[in-house]
Structures are given as structure tokens and as C-alpha cells.
Amino acid sequence: MTVSRSSWFLILFVVVAMAAAIVLPLLFASESRLVLYCAHDQALAADVIERFEQESGIQVDVRYDEEANKSLGLTKLLLAEKNVPRADVFWNNQLLGTIHLQSAGVLQPYRGTGWERIPESFRDPDGYWTGFAARQRVYIVNTDRMEASVESISERLQQPSLQAVAIAEPLFGTTLSQYCVLAQQMGLDQLKDWDHDIRQRGIRVVRGNSMVKDLVAEGICDMGFTDTDDAFAAMDSGSPVAMRPVRLDTGHTISLPNSVAIIAGCRHPEAAQRFIDFVLSEETELQLAAGAGRQIPLGPVDRTRLPDDLQPLVEWAADAVPLANAAEFHTSVADWLNAESTGQ
Amino acid sequence: MTLWFVLSWSVARTVIVSTAAVMVGQCLLRDIHSVASTRWRRTWLIAALIPLLVPELIVGFNYRLTAQKLTESVWGTELLYATVLLIRSCSVSVLVLLLLPASAVTHESIHSWQLLNQRTNHYRRQYLKLLVTGPWRAPVVAWCLTSLVTFQDFETAALIQVVGHPVVWTVWLFDANAGNQSLNQTLVFIIPPLLMEFIFLIPGLWLIGLDSSSEQRTGSAPRRNTTCSSMWRTISATVLGLCIVAGWPVLISLPELWEGTRTLLQDPAAILRQQATTFGFSATAAAVSLSGAVLLHRSNKTLTTVIFLLPGLAGSLSLSLILMWLFQQPGLQLLWDQWFPMLLGQSLLMLPRAWVLVLVLKSMVTPEGRYSATLLNSGQPWHRQSASRLLWNLESIRWLLAAAVLCHWCTWDVTTASLLRPVTVEPVVTRLYQEMHFSRTESLTALSLVTVAVPWLLFAVMTVIRRAISYGAMLQLRSDETG
């Protein structure tokens, strides 16, 4: 084998590759000014970030979460990078993980104009985090298979077999948030009993909310627990589905706001503050409300500018249980679920 | 589910799938060798190896809905997963059987030993040794490597798994880490599966080490006359496999291609940036791993080779988690969030495959052809030009092709890119994952097509450029001669 002959082409290959890797990205990107970790869905967040870049002139480098299967979780990554942070801002698609970061000393407070416009129940009093643009925890129902009424949902959940009901693995995401709320409401032991009961009755525990949506939309399951953005995705694609809010025994609904926070010791604090005020503004909440995910604005907005199908959700969000107390159960619930999952 | 439970399940599946894959692989290769026409033989061989090039991500995504419909049947889901694994494993098995040097133990020596027919322990031990190092050698080595590939699958399992099935240790490990376990704890969990992988590998490594000096390859075994039934068996098995892993996904995606292309064209700069970044990393990792593999072949040291190949053989999930832990240690933290961890991860992951490809390249070039080209190279300018063209056809184009194959594999490895990439880098494969999550199949289809095409397109462009240069030089020579 004559390596010297082919090595010329290898060198050429390396040179072309390096040029492509280094030069081309430089052609399209200016100097980095803000590093954003974004757990919100890329398709929904990208427009907001782009608008911020255009209006502020600040270049944003974004690291998105890659969903349950791929991501080790931005929350875990931020904890691992606590001593040498590379992110300036964390845009989480839920709240409890952000509160966990606060307790771990990863965040720094900021009370700007955005923080001021959000109701107290959705923000940290010291400004470590601020909630905005929420989703609701809902039952998604296949209307070809059952009636989407509160009574029929309740009846279905009482049946001995839950084979036709789906829920996402509660180890992650918003199902974990729902479990934390339930732990706060009923106590951890009762939550364990409830979880044991639904599993015994054969509920289908799948890998994510989108899978729940798919199972119900395809008619493989009659109903399931998911979030409003997934339910809207199914409705928009023409599937025969409807949604009803998950209500606790107290009558409260579960509202899952996005949250933003500045990372302690970040490299671009001024840009971070500008970004936070930007995403907490009325315009951004309206933009997210008009998007495919139909996020529910939490601050005061002109309701005439909201899509029609979002109007009832605003009412549901008004009944939401405060999540800050549920955060106390985050670690204990996660530890229990992890022990169950790994058999440790 | 405990780690031991999922490990047992995974090991059982691996043993069944790998055994079946080696049996099918042997039949396929035998039938392919029996085809008289060289062109058809090559075509069937390429067809049998194509499943190795179909991205696991695409296969997993396209069978996700099928898996959803099977949620009521544990065995149905397991069967679906095992079938997809089996097709890929058959390709691995065919490749290994094709490349493996023939054993020095001849059929005559085994027959002679059988004639002795003694009933002593020494006789039995020696007879077994002859069998293991003789006719069983190639299937055992193929089984070992096929087991490794089957056992460390993650992408397909993660996408197909709907309700706890198929039970796969890689998904369990990932969930444990993504849940509430620390990275250190996850690395402790990795130890038993890694030991299991070494156990799978040990017989193969031992057998390869026993007879590494042989030059003859089973791939050059004498041809048998083809029979109609064997030909049909080959055609059916290969076409069925291709339909399952490639045909069906392509067929159901094609109608959405136009709409997807229009969506992508709304932001061409972003697509170009992602493709350029992805290709840059993949091509560099391909070149690094290919160069490393050449050096390992040159060194001719088994232990060094094994040490360098082991990280890649551990699989992308284990490798990425270990590198992630490593680059978060105080001494190496500065390199975290740089290009180096991702490039290192991809290069190490590709090194075993590059090593196999170098073996293929070595087996393809005849010393006579190369020698003739070298002799020509020292003659007149016109001869040198012909020699250059000959060497290009004999070697360079094949090296480029090998680099393109590695580049393709690298591009489609989600785990390494996802876990080790710096913030500023967004490989196209992570975007594809997002598209998958939201079931935006139109843009997923178009983006996948572009991503599949890029390495091959660049390979084609480089080939055309090389030919153009060669043609230009030839014209120059002619004009010099006539002038």
C-alpha cells in the first residue's frame, strides 16, 4: 500500500474540512455577545431570538435542548458548569428545574422592567427567575373514541383498566412537574400509591408528551396526559382530538410557565439583562401566543390580539396552582422516580 | 428495572440476533460468491452492505409509528427492533466474513485428524482447537463483532421504544443519567456493560491474534456455480432487508420532499452554516481516524491497535459520557466547550471503522497493478500522466471513498455530537432530532436528503476536479508534442 500517494489527498481533505469548519461559520456569524441555553422548543423560540438579534444588534449563540431521548438536560449541564459558566441566560420551558438551579446557587438575581410586569405568583421575589408564557397540563382526548367531557374523562380514569390511557415517563419534563404538584397536594406517600395504582391498572407510560399526543391522535389510546402545545399540534394537523385541563382536587389547574434567569458569573451580564427584559415583554408573550405552541401570556396583554382558541386557556391559567411550593418536592420526587426506574 | 435485568435482556437479544446474522451473512456471502458475473457479484455485495450506510436515526424515526401500533404487544415491539437490528447485523457479518483472512488450517488437516479417531482428552482438545482456528474461526470473529454492534445500539432503541419495550441497557443508562443520577454514578453503571462488551470481543481478538500473518482472504474464495435457488435466496434476502431499512422510509417520505425543500429554502444561510459545520467536523474526524488507522496498520502491533480501537468499540454513548466526564475535570475544563472534545469523540468512534476500511483498501489493490503504475511513473511525461491516472483509479479515489463513508457515519452520529458539541456549533443532526420531535416530516425529509448528499456530492466534485486536471494536463502534453 502506497500511503505517500494517498496522503496528499488526505491532507487536501483535512484542509478543505478545516476551512469549511472554521471559515464558513465565520462568514455567517459575528462576534458572540450572548450565550443562551434554551430548553424551549427551537421551532418556537427561534423567531423570538431572531427578533431580539435584529432589534438589539446582539448576536445570540443558542444551545437548544435536544428532547428527552438525546439531552442530558440543560439543567444538569448548568450544574456541571457552575464554576466555569459558559451560558449567560437560561430560558427554561418549565419552572421547577429553574428553581432547583436557584437553590444550587447557579443563578443571579435581576429585577428589570420585564420582572415588574409579571404577576407575583409567577416570579421569584428576589428576581432569581421570572415566569412567562405558560402551557397548561391537559387531558388530550380522541373524540372518535370517547366524549371530551369532564365526566367521561373522570369515568375513564376510574375504570379498572387504563390500557387506553397514556402518560409520559415522569422522570423528566412537565410530567415531573405534574408529579411535584401532586406530591405537594397529596403528600409523597399518597403520590406513590397513586402512581402504583395507575401503573397496576396498565396505564401506558411512554417516552415523552409528544408520544402521548401521537398515541391519542392515532387512536391507539383514547386519552392521555400532555401539554397544551402538543395538543394544539395534534389539532392543527387535523387529528380528531380535544383537550380539557387537568384539575386537582382543589379545582386548581396546573400551569407550566417558561422561565428565564441570568447565570451567576456570566460573561455578558448587560446583554443578558436586555434579553431578559425582551422576552418578558408584552410583545414577546403575544408572539409566543400567536405561535404554533399557543403559549398563554402571564403578564397583562391586549386580549383582543390573542388567537380565539387561546381565550379559554387564559381562564384555565387564572386557576393555576402556585408552583413555587411544589419545587420543594422536586428532589424527593425525582429521587424516588429515579430509584424506581433504575431499581437501585 | 435493575441494570442487571436490562443487561440480561440485552445480552439475550444480542446472542440471538448475532447468531442469526452470522448464519444469514454466511449464506449471503456464499451465494454472492457463486454469482458468475463480476459486475453482478459486486452489485449484490454493495446491496448487502447498504444497510450499514442507512442512518439509524432515519430507520428509528420511520418505525416509531409502527412501534406505537405494537404497544400492546411486548413481543411485537421486541420483534420489530430485533428485525431492524438483524438487517444491520447481517451487513456487519457479511463485511467481516468478506475481510477476514482465511485460516491456515486446511480441510485436509481436519480430515486427517478425524481419521485418527482417538478417544483421548488430548485428541478431543486438539480437534476442538483445529475446528475453532479452522472452519469456525471466521463465523466466531464475525459473531463477536456483530454482537458488539448489536449490543451497543442506542439510536434505534431510543426511537422505537414506546412503552418500556424493547428493553435496552443503553436507553436505561441514558434515562438514569438524564434523571437524577450524577455523571460519576452513570459512569459506574457503564462498567458492567463495558465488561460485557469485552467478553463479546475476547474470542474474536484471540482468534485474530492467533493467525494474523495470513494473506489470503475468504473474500477471494473460489467461485461455485450459481444455482437458481441460491440466487433467489440472495435476491430475496437482500431486497427484503433493503426494503425494510431503506425502501420503506424513502417511500413514505418522498411525497413530502417538495414541501420540505420549500421550507428549507426560507433560510438557506442557516442550512448552509449547519451543513458546513457538520461537514467540517465529520470530514476532519474522518481524515484523523483514517490517518490513525493507517498508522496502526503500519505499526503492526496488535496490543497498540487494540488499545486505540477499544474506545470506539465501546460505542458512542459510553465514549461520549466518558469524554464528557474527562473534559469537566479541573485540568481539562478549559477544553470543554471547544471543538476538541467533539472532534476527539468522533475520531475515536470512527477509528475501528476506519481500521476496517483500511483493511478493505489493502485487500482491493493488487501489488502487480501498483507496481506497473509505479514503473510507468518513472518514464516519459506522457507515461507519467497515465501512471498518475492509473494510481488515482487504483488508490486515491478509493481513499476518498473511504473518507466519504466515514464522513457519512460521523455526520449521522447524534450521541457524540449532542453530548460533546460546543455551544456555538449546531450540527445538522441535532436539528434533525428537533424536526423529528415535532413530526415536521417535510423539512426532516428534505434536510435528511441534503445531509446524506453532502459528503457524496463533495466526493463527486473532487473526482470531477481530479479528472479535469488530468484531462487538462493530457491536452497540454498533446499540444507540446504537436508543437
- CA gap B139, B367 in Å, rounded: 28
Q: CB-CB: which of B178, B294, B434 is closest to A43? A: B434
Q: What residues of A are in contact with residue B187 (Cβ under 8 Å)?
A: none
Please give the radius of gyration of chain A, using alpha carbons only, rounded to the nearest integer. Answer: 22
Nearest CB partner across the interface for B181, out of A1, A331, A338: A338
Contact assignment for B65 to A211 by CB distance below 8 Å: no
Residues from chain A contacting residue B156 (CB–CB below 8 Å): none
List the grid coordinates of B245: 431499512
Grid cell 474470542 is found at B203
Task: Please list the pLDDT of chain B residue by residue as tens digits (483 residues).
Answer: 888 999 999 999 999 999 999 999 998 888 888 887 888 888 888 888 888 888 888 888 888 878 877 877 888 889 999 999 999 999 999 988 887 766 777 777 878 877 777 778 888 888 888 888 888 888 998 999 899 889 988 888 988 876 778 889 988 888 887 776 777 788 888 889 989 988 998 888 787 766 554 444 444 444 455 566 666 777 777 777 777 777 777 777 777 777 778 877 777 888 888 888 898 899 999 999 999 999 998 888 888 888 899 899 888 888 988 898 888 788 887 787 788 899 999 999 999 989 888 887 776 666 777 677 777 766 677 677 777 777 777 677 778 888 888 998 899 888 888 888 888 788 888 888 777 766 677 778 888 888 888 888 888 888 888 777 777 776 776 777 676
Predicted local distance difference test score (pLDDT) of residue A69: 42
Instruction: Give the chain A residue whose CA is nearest to the CA of B430.
Output: A66
Cβ within 8 Å, pair A70-B418: yes
Contact (CB<8Å) A21/B284: yes
Query: What whole-number percentage of chain A has pLDDT above 90?
Result: 64
How far CA A252 is from CA of A148, A267, B64, in Å, comes to 19, 40, 35
Of A5, A66, A214, the CB nearest to B430: A66
Cell of B425: 456549533
Residue contact A6–B5, C-beta within 8 A: no
Looking at residue A173, what is its pLDDT?
Answer: 84
Task: Give the number of other Cβ atoms within 10 Å of residue B73's Cβ.
Answer: 12
A82, closest residue in chain B (CA to CA): B328
Q: How many CB atoms lie within 10 A of CB A92?
A: 26
The whole-number pLDDT of residue A191 equals: 96
Q: Searching chain B, which residue's CA lies closest to the CA of residue A36?
A: B423
Q: Which of B175, B426, B438 comes nearest A41 by C-beta?
A: B438
Residues of B with Cβ-Cβ distance to A1 under 8 angstroms: 297, 361-362, 365, 395
Kindly give the interhelix angle for B441-482 and B397-411, rounded to the nearest 10 degrees: 160
Q: Best residue in A2, A70, A237 to probe B by mutation, most B CBs within 10 Å?
A: A70
Q: How far is B79 from chain A (nearest CA, A)?
A: 19
In angstroms, the separation between the Cα of residue B221 and the nearest Cα of chain A is 22
Would you state the pLDDT for residue A5? Answer: 55
The terminus-to-terminus CA distance of chain A in angstroms comes to 53
Q: Does pLDDT of A68 surpass 50? A: no
Q: Between B71, B72, B158, which is nearest A69 by CB? A: B158
Please report the pLDDT score of residue A232 as a whole number. Answer: 93
Does the pLDDT value for residue A230 go beyond 80?
yes
Instruction: Name the one residue in this structure whose C-alpha cell is 419534563.
Output: A173
Under an 8 A CB cutoff, do B179 and A17 touch?
A: no
Task: Find out whether the peptide bond into A160 is cis, omega within 30 degrees of 0.
Answer: no
Q: At B23, which amino acid appears?
A: M
Is the per-residue pLDDT at A136 higher than 90?
yes
Distance from CA of A272 to the nearest CA of B (A): 16
Instruction: Kindly determine whether residue A29 and residue B162, on different chains, have CB atoms separated by under 8 Å.
Output: no
Task: Show Cβ contacts of residue B429 under 8 Å, excluding neighbours closer than 6 positions.
Answer: B57, B278, B411, B412, B413, B414, B417, B418, B451
Beta-carbon separation of A25 and B183 below 8 A: no
Residue of chain B nearest A76, judged by CA positions: B178
Model pLDDT, residue B313: 85
The answer, yes or no, to whether residue A141 has pLDDT greater than 80, is yes
Cβ–Cβ of B423/A214 closer than 8 Å? no
pLDDT for the residue numbered A149: 95
Residue among A13, A21, A343 whose CB faces B403 most closely: A13
For residue B5, give the C-alpha cell.
435485568
Contacts of A335 in chain B (CB under 8 A): 180
**How far A251 CA sits from the closest chain B CA (Å)?**
30
Across chain A, mean pLDDT equals 88
Please name every residue paired with A262 in a beta bridge, in sequence order, or none if there are none. Answer: A89, A108
User: For the range A146-155, what are the long-range contacts, defined as Cβ-Cβ under 8 Å and sequence gap of 24 or more?
Assistant: A146/A222, A146/A223, A148/A242, A148/A243, A148/A244, A149/A244, A150/A244, A153/A223, A153/A244
Nearest CA in chain B to A31: B424
A70/B430 Cβ within 8 A: yes
Return phi, psi of residue B375, to 5°.
-65, -45
Say if residue A221 is exposed, middle or buried (CB neighbours under 10 Å; 0-12, 13-18, 19+).
Answer: buried
If we measure between CA atoms, which residue out of A229, A224, A234, A228 comes closest to residue A140? A224
CA–CA distance, A101 with A30 (Å, rounded to integer): 30
Residue A155 CB contacts under 8 Å (≥ 6 apart), including other chains? none
Q: Which residues 6+ apart lie within 8 Å of A255 measured at CB?
A: A134, A135, A136, A137, A296, A316, A317, A320, A321, A323
Q: Which of B272, B282, B284 sits opposite A18 (nearest CB)?
A: B284
Question: Which residue of A lies nearest to B189 if distances are taken between CA atoms?
Answer: A342
Q: Provide, as residue numbers in chain B, all residues whose Cβ is less than 8 Å from the Cβ of A29.
A: 273, 424
Residue B209 · residue B302 · CB < 8 Å: yes
Contact at CB, B178 and A68, closer than 8 angstroms: yes
Work out the number of other CB atoms within 10 angstroms of the CB of residue B200.
24
pLDDT tens string A247-275: 999 999 999 999 999 999 998 999 999 99
- Interface touch B438/A20, C-beta < 8 Å: no
More confident residue, A73 or A239: A239
pLDDT tens string A98-113: 998 999 999 999 999 9
Cβ–Cβ under 8 Å, residues B344 and B323: yes
User: Do the Cβ atoms of A73 and B281 come within 8 Å?
Assistant: no
A330: left (phi over 0), alpha (psi -120 to 50) or beta: alpha
Set of chain A residues whose Cβ sits within 8 Å of the Cβ of B336: 81, 84
User: Burial letters for B234-264: b for 16+ Cβ neighbours within 10 Å, e otherwise?
Assistant: beebbeebbebbbeebbeebeebbeebbebb
CA of residue B336 relative to chain centroid, distance: 28
- Per-residue pLDDT, averaged over A83-92, amounts to 89
A9: closest chain B residue by CA? B396
B69 to chain A: nearest residue by CA? A220
Tell me which residue in A2, A61, A233 faces B424 most closely, judged by beta carbons. A61
Q: What's chain A look like in SS3?
A: CCHHHHHHHHHHHHHHHHHHHHHHHHHHCCCCCEEEEECCCHHHHHHHHHHHHHHHCCCEEEEECCHHHHCCCHHHHHHHCCCCCCCCEEEECCCHHHHHHHHCCCEECCCCHHHHHCCHHHECCCCCCEEEEEEEEEEEEECCCCCCCHHHHHHHHHCCCCCCEEEECCCCHHHHHHHHHHHHHHCHHHHHHHHHHHHHCCCEEECCHHHHHHHHHCCCCCEEEEEHHHHHHHHHCCCCEEEEECECCCCCECEEEEEEEEECCCCCHHHHHHHHHHHCCHHHHHHHHHCCCCCECCCCCCHHHCCHHHHHHHHHHHCECCCCCHHHHHHHHHHHHHHHHHCC
Q: How many CB pairs under 8 A join A and B?
A: 202
Choose among A61, A84, A331: nearest Cβ to B423: A61
Asked if B279's CB is within 8 angstroms of A17's CB, the reply is yes
Please judge whether B291 and A10 are an interchain contact, meaning their C-beta atoms are less than 8 angstroms apart. yes
Tens of pLDDT, residue by residue over A179-215, are 999 999 999 999 999 999 999 999 999 888 888 998 9
Kindly tell me if the per-residue pLDDT of A23 is higher than 70: no
Contact B398, B364 (CB under 8 A): yes
Which residue is closest to A207 within chain B, CA to CA?
B162
Chain A CB contacts of B268 below 8 Å: none
The 3-class secondary structure across chain B, one letter per residue, is CCHHHHHHHHHHHHHHHHHHHHHHHHHHHHHHHCCCCHHHHHHHHHHHHHHHHCCHHHHHHHCHHHHHHCCCCHHHHHHHHHHHHHHHHHHHHHHHHHHCECCCCCHHHHHHHHHHCCCCHHHHHHHHHHHHHCCCHHHHHHHHHHHHHHHCCCHHHHHHCCCCCCCCHHHHHHHHHHCCCCHHHHHHHHHHHHHHHHHHHHHHHHHHHHCCCCCCEHHHCCCCCCCHHHHHHHHHHHHHHHHHHHHHHHHHHHHHHHHHHHHHCCCHHHHHHHHHHHHHHHHHHHHHHHHHHHHHHHHCCHHHHHHHHHHHHCCHHHHHHHHHHHCCCHHHHHHCCCHHHHHHHHHHHHHHHHHHHHHHHHHHCCHHHHHHHHHHHCCCHHHHHHHHHHHHHHHHHHHHHHHHHHHHHHHCCHHHHHHHCCCCCCCHHHHHHHHHHCCCHHHHHHHHHHHHHHHHHHHHHHHHHHHHHHHHHHHHHHHHHHC
Find the residue in B nearest to A74 (Cα).
B178
ipTM value for the complex = 0.77
Q: How many CB atoms lie within 10 A of CB B39?
A: 8
Tell how far CA B454 is from the center of its chain: 18
